[in-house]
Amino acid sequence: MNIHEYQAKQIFQKYGVPTPRGRVAFSVNEAVEAARELGGDLWVVKAQIHAGGRGLGGGVKLAKSLEEVEEHAKNILGMTLVTHQTGPEGKLVQKVYIEEGADIKSEFYLGMLLDRAAEMPVMMASTEGGMEIEKVAEETPEKIVKVNIDPAIGFQGYHGRELAFGLGLPKEEVGTFIKFAKALYDVYMDNDAELIEINPLIKTGDGKFLALDAKMGFDDNALGRHQDIEDMRDLSEEEPTEVEAKKYGLSYVKLDGNVGCMVNGAGLSMATMDIIKHEGGEPANFLDVGGGANPETVAKGFEIILEDPNVKAIFVNIFGGIVRCDRVANGILEATKMTEVNVPVVVRLDGTNAQEAAEILRNANIENIITAENLADGAKKVVEAAKGE
């Protein structure tokens, strides 16, 4: 789960990770009021959406007067912001963050995530603040300093020194930087974060480090013990169909093709997408119905797949194990009664009791249900069906 910049900064402040002062605003009036409260003569108006690249898309503006704050807030609130991370359809901006202007002397990058190979977190820093870190990693990897932090010992001084000296900081600034990095480590560990990125981390004219931007993602499996973070969830930032699917224990991801897929198991679901492509089709979605595949989940699956108007045919690919195929076949028949399915459905049921299942489907004699012998046969048939052949 991801949160907004202003929410991440609230968490930072609790842990003593310094940020500029700021207020979130949901209307133009609130934006002006926030700027007035903050005082000073320079503000930044920042669109709050779950995507990077907001500045380039016109979602971050500098204001030198309250009138300018008002003008920018008017323009940004309600705009559809398109960045390289939102996709071409963009995202609607519903809130802005008003922040005091900062005196930027230099910009850095500081991030933290799980190093899967080392099986422990890694903190990364770079002098290339403001740049996309993936790009830096590709073009100038020598400009990234990385340090693994073994949670058994926690964040030690030397971790901070490796990063600080790696960034080329003068020795009088090393202590301040280490304090900053240590606090960030605590934010990461205490909150079961999956990713934290501060880009840019700035050094001000008077030698302070401030998190000018903040991005945070969390381990979904750990949200059960972080109600405060779960409360920060902004459903308007999530794909509505994916949210709906989750309620029924289905895992759905929308894609661009026209062949709908309903599969049991994440690996087989991905493999099903792959084989559709291999046979010359394009998958419309990833959908894992889980181990159960009962009538209700299958019916919901059909409903969710068919919400996408591009879908021309559906491939139901279930490998029956403990859940027997004959039961799944009956489930599919039930489901077609519960929800209207108006496209061809190719069904491949293999594994335990596959013969009986094929019999059940044949006897039901439903016009748009096509049975398949195996994985390859099913993929071929569904791609043909989607093409109208």
Q: Does the annotation count 248 as an active-site position?
A: no
Q: What is the DSSP letter of 221?
A: G
Least distance CB 101 / another protein (angstroms):
31
- The span from the CA of 350 to the CA of 357, in Å, is 9
- Taking the complex as a whole, how short is the minimal distance between the CB of residue 58 and another protein, in angstroms? 22
From candidates 139, 220, 228, 230, binder to another protein by CB under 8 A: 220
- Is 188 a residue of the active site? no
Catalytic pick among 99, 128, 194, 197: 197
Q: What pairing do the DSSP bridges indicate for beta strands 96-100 and 22-25?
A: antiparallel
Residues forming beta bridges with residue 252, ordered by sequence position: 287
* Residues 6+ away with beta carbon under 8 Å from 252: 241, 242, 245, 246, 285, 286, 287, 288, 304
Q: How far is residue 196's CA from residue 199's CA, in Å, rounded to a whole number?
A: 10
Alpha-carbon distances of 289 from 136, 194, 229, 346, 356, rounded to whole Å: 39, 25, 27, 16, 22
Please say which residue, 33 or 244, places its beta carbon nearer to another protein. 244
| DSSP structural state of residue 292 | T
Instruction: Say whether 230 sits in a helix, a strand or coil.
Output: helix
Please report how close the Cβ of residue 78 comes to another protein at its closest, in angstroms: 26
Cβ of residue 374: shortest distance to another protein, in angstroms?
A: 7
The tokens describing 304, both together, are 């969710």
> Site size for another protein, by CB under 8 A?
54
* Structural element, H or E, at residue 300: helix 295-306
62 vs 120 by CB, closer to another protein: 120
By CB under 8 A, the residues from 179 to 208 that bind another protein are 189, 192, 194
State how far the Cα of 291 lies from the Cα of 355, in Å rounded to an integer: 20
Name the residue nearer to another protein (CB basis): 89 or 138.
138
Question: Is position 286 an interface residue for another protein (rule: CB under 8 A)?
Answer: yes
Look up residue 165 and give its two tokens. Answer: 């000296």
**Nearest to another protein of 45, 149 (CB atom):** 149
Find where tokens 């770079």 sit.
126
Question: Does 375 engage in binding with another protein (CB under 8 A)?
Answer: yes
Residue from 278, 337, 362, 387 in contact with another protein (CB under 8 A): 278
| Catalytically annotated residue among 5, 6, 99, 109 | 109
Instruction: List the beta strands (DSSP E) in 224-276.
Output: 251-254, 259-263
Q: Is 153 in the site for another protein (CB under 8 A)?
A: no
Taking the complex as a whole, the smallest distance from the CB of residue 108 to another protein amounts, in Å, to 19
Residues present in the chain in total: 389
The single residue among 16, 78, 151, 154 that binds another protein, judged by CB under 8 A, is: 151
Q: Could you give the string, one character per residue 10-39, with x where binding to another protein holds by CB under 8 A and - elsewhere?
A: ------------------------------
Quick one: which segment of 26-34, 71-79, 134-142, 169-177 binds another protein (CB under 8 A)?
Answer: 134-142
User: Are 331 and 298 contacting, i.e. CB atoms less than 8 angstroms apart?
Assistant: yes
274 touching another protein, by CB under 8 A:
yes
Please give the sequence-ordered ranges of beta strands (E in DSSP) within 71-192, or none if there are none.
Answer: 80-81, 91-92, 96-100, 104-115, 120-126, 144-148
Beta pairing, strands 345-351 & 369-371 = parallel
The minimum distance between CB 381 and another protein, in angstroms, equals 13
What count of other Cβ atoms lies within 10 Å of the Cβ of residue 32? Answer: 19
Q: Which residues bind another protein (CB under 8 A)?
A: 85, 114, 116-117, 119-120, 133-134, 137-138, 151-152, 189, 192, 194, 219-222, 224-225, 251, 253, 255, 263-278, 283, 286, 288, 319-322, 350-352, 374-376, 379
Active-site residue set: 109, 197
